[in-house]
A = this chain, B = another copy of it.
Amino acid sequence: MSKSDIDNDMVRQLAELLDETGLTEIEFGKGDWHIRIAKSGTVVQAQAPVAAPPAAPVAVVAPEVAAVNPGTIKSPMVGVAYLTPEPDTPNFVAVGDSVTEGQTIMLIEAMKVFNPIHAPKAGKVIQIIAENGSPVEFGEPLMIIE
* Stretch from A20-28, A106-114, A117-125 contacting the other chain: A20-28
Copies in the complex: 2
Band of interface residues on A: 35 or more
Nearest CB in chain B: distance from A47 CB, A: 7
A33 touches B1 (CB 8 A): yes
Shortest CB-to-CB span from A53 to chain B, Å, is: 17
CB contact between A9 and one of B3, B27, B44, B49 (< 8 Å): that residue: B3
Q: CB within 8 A of A46: which of B7, B25, B28?
A: B25
Report the minimal beta-carbon distance from A87 to chain B, rounded to whole angstroms: 53
The 5 closest A-B pairs by CB, nearest first: A48-B48, A15-B21, A40-B43, A30-B33, A27-B36
Asked if A13 contacts B21 (CB within 8 A), the reply is no
Interface members, chain A 1-42 (any B CB < 8 Å): 1, 3, 5-15, 17-18, 20-42
Question: Which of B27, B33, B36 touches A31 (beta carbons < 8 Å)?
Answer: B33
- A89 interface hit (Cβ, 8 Å): no
A133 to B9, CA, bound (A): 57
